[in-house]
Structure 1
Amino acid sequence: MLKTPIARGVALATLGATLAIPTLAQAAFVEDTKAGLELRNFYLNSDYRQEGADQSKQDEWAQGFILRVESGYTEGTVGFGVDALGLLGVKLDSGRGRTGTGLLPATASGAPDEYSELGLTAKAKVSKSVLKVGTLQLKNPAVATSDSRLLPAVMRGAQVVSNEIDGLTLDLGYVDQINNRNSTNYEDMGINTSGKGITGTKGVESDEFVYLGGTYKVTKDLSTSYYYSNLEDLYKQHALNLVHVLPIGKDQSLKTDLRYQRSTDDGNTNVDNKAFGAMVTYSLSGHGFGLGYQRMSGDTGFAYVGGNIDPYLVNFVQIGDFAKEDERSWQARYDYNFAAIGIPGLTFMTRYITGDNFERTGVSEGKEWERDTDIAYTFQEGALKNLNIKWRNATFRSNGTADDIDQNRLIVSYTIPLM
């Protein structure tokens, strides 16, 4: 149900523009069209290690098909176009008691054999500004739809991105519903409340999320951004980000990434959080050495849209977000690109995150930690060129009520260019 005039306008604009495009088609609209089919094979196993776990493991294997079509624009002062996103997930292995990985929908009778959806996005371009209406995949400090499972999460709404001023990107958007990674249904939005001390959300969902922000490239090595967002009735948030890359010498640099977010309630909740994060990375040839720090303060943990949304936090990693009330967390990270020794396409990453100082039921001080390792290889030539294989391993432990998890993901992906 479209509950607001804005939501109805978004739906009508999508339908109207989609129907109008064929009559406006011109050479550039067709010639600039890009299309690709990504084949994504995904195996995920989560082994729950704490005593008395409700579920001993989650274990599923599935094949995903992701079709992306991006048209060009018609000629004229205002150019029109349309994008399409086709998603299909096919079950290869699952079973009762093993669902819940996020690869496939979970039902009382187990996972279905397949699920699918089609998303359409109408777009218009004037000079260096683009309006999109319909299915959106968003990625900015205010909201980022997750693409870490078989199929990506998407949202429904409208977005304007403008690059009229050199070095400045303005970004504003309206969203009324979210479609999660393992779902074909659009839903209203809530807050991620896991361990964050946020109250007032029971039975409260929102069909209006708005954001406005921009990024300014001060110099080629320094950029800054500010975003304001509001999930109606639930929270308001201001987000600041500063990124600086200091060239030190040949194949050497020092990158500093500073983030600060201030979140407050919007009527129904008790949201009150200040989140500070810093990540410093020293790069030398193929090596990357990173140190991160993240601190939560205020009456609650960090607020962000619930469902499959990635929060803009330096210590949001494979399993945890380390964003509970008053939590402090540290991260040590190492990356290596084997292209530096003549093996292009092979990369390695490992990191360790530890958090403390948050309240947990039955313990004086909450503590948790996570260890992640990624190994990936993309074939560079031959019949398997551009085939990517990635193994992701994570171990998460907590002395409170959070799940203790050993997790493995194996992802094989290949994109076939169609146009």
Structure 2
Amino acid sequence: MKKTTFAVAIGTSTLSLGISHQASAEFFDDSKASFEARNFYFNRDFRQDNAPQSKAEEWAQGFLLRYESGYTEGTVGVGVDALGLLGVKLDSSPDRSNTGLLKRDRETGRAQDDYGELGLTAKLRASKSVLKVGTLLPKLPVVQYNDSRLLPQTFKGGHLNSLELDGLTFDGGQLKQVNQRDSSDYEDMTIASGAARAITFRTGTTSDEFNFGGATYKWTDSLSTGYHYGELDEFYKQHYFTVLHVLPLGDKQSLKSDLRFARSTDEGTSNVDNKAFGAMFTYTLGGHAFGLGYQSMSGDTGFAYINGTDPFLVNYVQIGDFANKDEKSWQARYDYNFASIGIPGLTFMTRYLSGDNIDLGVGREDGKEWERNMDIAYIFQEGALKNFGVKWRNATVRSTNFGSDIDENRLILSYTLPLL
């Protein structure tokens, strides 16, 4: 995707807002831009009997161009952001498609040769408050965009972020449509479902309205609490409470406590009824981090969230979210940062999760599942390869009485070049 496309789009937007040369000095001086090339190989083998396909395997190249302007001078500053996305097929076939990397033809299911998006966002700043309207990448407890494949998921809507009071962060707004990570088309939103989640709604129902609002207060450098509300029209309402605390224990030691509770209820045509509790405790010692997590689902259904997004759950990992009806799950995790022994940029993570007590309906035995993950990543810190990253992600999933048995590998090569 050519950078000149961005220049034309940004210039047009600036002129349409009537920005004078003098007033726009900070608009350009404070601008930031970067270019990222992301090469992604994805392989998922299905191990269960009678699987609809033996494996999903594709290879693709992505390009991401990001631009963030500064603001014009004055009581109300004006700015614009731009996001250019392009995905290119390197290898795929009909019997190996549906990895989430590439856009597929709706009729044949074949991966298209390329796909992309140009997103523009207008923004206004007054004091310590910023209003953005246009293409959004929300990252809040009630809605988090997904960036786990070649290109990120994006939304259209409006988002107000305010820092007017010391320690208090307020967010509010509305999302209208979503562009999924393997698509170039905006569409109305729906809810994540699945038989083990037990969520039902009227066939064909979609929503063009997700309202959200909430606040996080930082009591001290070590303690913050939050409340957020989300409502997907025709599907669900959700209240989300969070507590995050870090307790220093001595030289290079700490204990982090991450507590989350969400209450979701029905709205419109659905039957959503869920209480989700999660707790993650992480002990850090130098470059080592040891984590233990627990997650519990209760109510008539599993956890509710917008289809395609990342649910804000302590046991949402590489493949599973462990958020089915009545599911109880735990997690053991270990991280190591090799910077502690003089190798900055090299990191390692492994974890194991187990879930059981999944209600699969009358006459069926409860479901069980487990997942094991391993990540190893390195980002070059200097020299000609500075900002070049290599990451290998491995996962194994096994389930009883429901779901798929999966062996998965992802190899991601990325290079980020600052432009401004």
Q: Structure 1 residues 259, 186: closer, same or farther in 2, change over 3 A? A: same
**In 1, distance between residues paired with 2:213 and 2:39?**
36
Task: Tell me if structure 2 keeps the 8 A contact 1:324–1:358.
Answer: yes
Matches within 5 A, 1:37-116: 37-107=35-105, 108=108, 110-116=110-116
Corresponding residue number in structure 2 for 1:178 = 178
1:371-414 CA deviation, whole Å, 9 max, x = no partner? 00000001112111111100000001111231111010000111
Corresponding residue number in structure 2 for 1:244 = 245
Task: Tell me if structure 2 keeps the 8 A contact 1:154–1:179.
Answer: yes
Moved over 4 A (4+): 14-19
Corresponding residue number in structure 1 for 2:190 = 190
Corresponding residue number in structure 2 for 1:11 = none
**In 1, distance between residues paired with 2:252 and 2:299?**
41
TM-score, with normalisation over the residues of structure 1?
A: 0.94
Q: Structure 1 residues 38, 409: closer, same or farther in 2, change over 3 A? A: same
**In 2, distance between residues paired with 1:30 and 1:370?**
48
Could you tell which deviates more after superposition, 397-406 or 215-224?
Answer: 397-406
Matches within 5 A, 1:368-379: 368-379=369-380
**In 2, distance between residues paired with 1:215 and 1:105?**
37
Corresponding residue number in structure 1 for 2:5 = none
Q: Does 1:341 align with 2:347?
A: no
**In 2, distance between residues paired with 1:315 and 1:394?**
14
**In 2, distance between residues paired with 1:174 and 1:211?**
6
Given residue 402 of structure 1, which amino acid in structure 2 is its aligned partner?
Answer: G
**In 2, distance between residues paired with 1:74 and 1:201?**
47
Which of 9, 16, 23 does residue 19 from structure 2 map onto?
A: 23
Corresponding residue number in structure 1 for 2:360 = 360
Shift of 1:33: 0.7
SS at match of 1:364: coil
Q: Does 1:136 align with 2:136?
A: yes
Q: Structure 1 residues 368, 166: closer, same or farther in 2, change over 3 A? A: same
SS at match of 1:97: helix
Task: Tell me if structure 2 keeps the 8 A contact 1:196–1:302.
Answer: yes
Task: Tell me if structure 2 keeps the 8 A contact 1:273–1:296.
Answer: yes
Corresponding residue number in structure 2 for 1:151 = 151
Corresponding residue number in structure 2 for 1:222 = 223
Task: Tell me if structure 1 keeps the 8 A contact 2:279–2:294.
Answer: yes
Corresponding residue number in structure 1 for 2:6 = none
1:233-292 CA deviation, whole Å, 9 max, x = no partner? 110000000000000000000000000000000121110000000000000000000000
Could you tell which deviates more after superposition, 184-193 or 21-30?
Answer: 21-30
Corresponding residue number in structure 1 for 2:404 = 403
Task: Tell me if structure 1 keeps the 8 A contact 2:387–2:417.
Answer: no
SS at match of 1:263: strand
Q: Structure 1 residues 339, 22: closer, same or farther in 2, change over 3 A? A: farther
Q: Structure 1 residues 199, 137: closer, same or farther in 2, change over 3 A? A: same
Which structure 2 residue ranges, 5 or more long, are not aligned? 1-9
**In 2, distance between residues paired with 1:384 and 1:197?**
49
SS at match of 2:144: coil
Shift of 1:24: 4.0
Q: Structure 1 residues 116, 22: closer, same or farther in 2, change over 3 A? A: farther
Corresponding residue number in structure 2 for 1:8 = none
**In 2, distance between residues paired with 1:126 and 1:390?**
40
1:160-210 CA deviation, whole Å, 9 max, x = no partner? 000011110000010010000010000111110122101124211111000
Q: Does 1:166 align with 2:169?
A: no
TM-score, with normalisation over the residues of structure 2?
A: 0.94
Shift of 1:363: 4.4
Given residue 389 of structure 1, which amino acid in structure 2 is its aligned partner?
Answer: V
Q: Structure 1 residues 24, 207: closer, same or farther in 2, change over 3 A? A: farther
1:343-369 CA deviation, whole Å, 9 max, x = no partner? 111000000000000123774121000
Task: Tell me if structure 1 keeps the 8 A contact 2:388–2:415.
Answer: yes
**In 1, distance between residues paired with 2:18 and 2:122?**
12
**In 1, distance between residues paired with 2:404 and 2:306?**
21
Q: Does 1:415 align with 2:416?
A: yes
**In 2, distance between residues paired with 1:201 and 1:376?**
44
**In 2, distance between residues paired with 1:44 and 1:224?**
37
**In 1, distance between residues paired with 2:224 and 2:12?**
38
Shift of 1:122: 0.2
Q: How many residues align?
A: 405
SS at match of 1:206: coil
Task: Tell me if structure 1 keeps the 8 A contact 2:373–2:394.
Answer: yes
SS at match of 1:30: helix
Task: Tell me if structure 2 keeps the 8 A contact 1:21–1:81.
Answer: no
**In 2, distance between residues paired with 1:91 and 1:270?**
40
**In 2, distance between residues paired with 1:179 and 1:320?**
22
**In 1, distance between residues paired with 2:163 and 2:109?**
49
Corresponding residue number in structure 1 for 2:208 = 207
SS at match of 1:219: coil
Task: Tell me if structure 2 keeps the 8 A contact 1:191–1:303.
Answer: yes
Given residue 175 of structure 2, which amino acid in structure 1 is its aligned partner?
Answer: V
